[in-house]
Amino acid sequence: MTAAEHVPLRMLAVSQRFGRRTAVCNLTLECSAGTMTCLAGPNGAGKSTILAIAAGLLRPSSGRVILAQRDPADVAHPPAIGYVPQRSAFPGVLTAGEVFELARSTRRPTPEDSDDILDVTGIRAVFDRPLGELSGGWQRRLGLATALLPPSAALLLDEPFVGLDPDTLDRLLSHLRRRVDSGAIVLLATHEFELAGLLRPDLVVIDDGHLCARLAAPDGSLREHYRTALSGCDALEAEVSRDDR
């Protein structure tokens, strides 16, 4: 096995086009086992698209993605991932327990791991209730519960902190820390810099589909680092467009 194969997630020169619009442009990103990476960028920068590509929901227009030595978009042998989209959608007639049970029966975590996820998300309290009757917050927690169930090559979380109460947030943050310590990779897109900063993640700044900056577990305020990186990116962009003219 070469050194490169130890890297659980590699996105190599990945571009994603939707018609004429380029959502992600020539992005190269590597995330090693046991690391947490925070994708940051303005709305529409391409963060969710990057996560969807890493989750295998989108096949990139060009470039290559390898997750746990597999192509995540391989529909025959998909790698096990935990993916939380911005908006989780479940059929309203099913109960929370049924949805969780399906995830548990396909992932097959140990009973301890399963109980741990139930404790972190607290969804045991609504197991018997149809999803159509649950609030957005509970649905969000259920989405997290099904995604966080081990084993996973990577946890790909799109705005995971939105809609959660403070207690659940605390449990989620410590759970994510434990997952990283146990070797999982966590890639999250968020604007909640204060919360994400508590996890000391690597910071990857995306703007207009381009990777602007990558900082390895920066000290201090994540928000400040983000602003500095983004302004540098804007200055660079202005310079490039001036040169083009």
Q: How far is the CB of 243 from another protein (least distance, A)?
A: 36
Q: How far is the CB of 185 from another protein (least distance, A)?
A: 8
Q: Which 3 state secondary structure label does DSSP give 240?
A: helix
Q: Which residues pair with 136 in a beta bridge?
A: none
> Which of 88, 190 has the CB closer to another protein?
88
152 binds another protein (CB under 8 A): yes
Q: Which 3 state secondary structure label does DSSP give 153?
A: coil
- Evaluate the CA torsion angle 231, 233, 234, 235 in order and state its sign: positive
Start-to-end Cα distance in the chain: 48
Sheet holding 62-67, edge to edge: 21-31, 9-18, 62-67
Footprint (CB under 8 A) of another protein, residues 118-147: 143, 146-147
Reported in sequence order, the residue ranges of 19-80 that DSSP labels E, i.e. its strands, are 21-31, 36-40, 62-67
Q: How far is the CB of 191 from another protein (least distance, A)?
A: 20
> How many residues sit close enough to another protein to count as binding (CB under 8 A)?
54
H helical segments located in the chain: 47-54, 96-107, 111-121, 136-148, 166-181, 193-197, 222-244
| Of the residues 19, 93, 241, 244, which one makes contact with another protein according to CB under 8 A | 93
83 is written with which tokens? 């993916």
64 binds another protein (CB under 8 A): no
21 binds another protein (CB under 8 A): no
> Which of 27, 229 has the CB closer to another protein?
27
Q: Which 3 state secondary structure label does DSSP give 177?
A: helix
> Which of 67, 212 has the CB closer to another protein?
67
Q: Which residues pair with 187 in a beta bridge?
A: 37, 156
> Which of 88, 193 has the CB closer to another protein?
88
> Which of 32, 228 has the CB closer to another protein?
32
Q: How far is the CB of 201 from another protein (least distance, A)?
A: 17
Site string for another protein, 72-91 (x = CB under 8 A): ---xxxxxxxxx-x-xxxxx
Footprint (CB under 8 A) of another protein, residues 191-220: none
160 binds another protein (CB under 8 A): no
How far is CA 243 from each of CA 142, 197, 212, 237, 238, rounded to the nearest angstrom? Answer: 50, 36, 18, 10, 9
- Summarize as ranges the residues that interact with another protein (CB under 8 A): 8, 33, 52, 55-59, 68-70, 75-83, 85, 87-91, 93-94, 98-99, 101-103, 105-110, 113, 116, 143, 146-147, 150-154, 178-179, 182-184
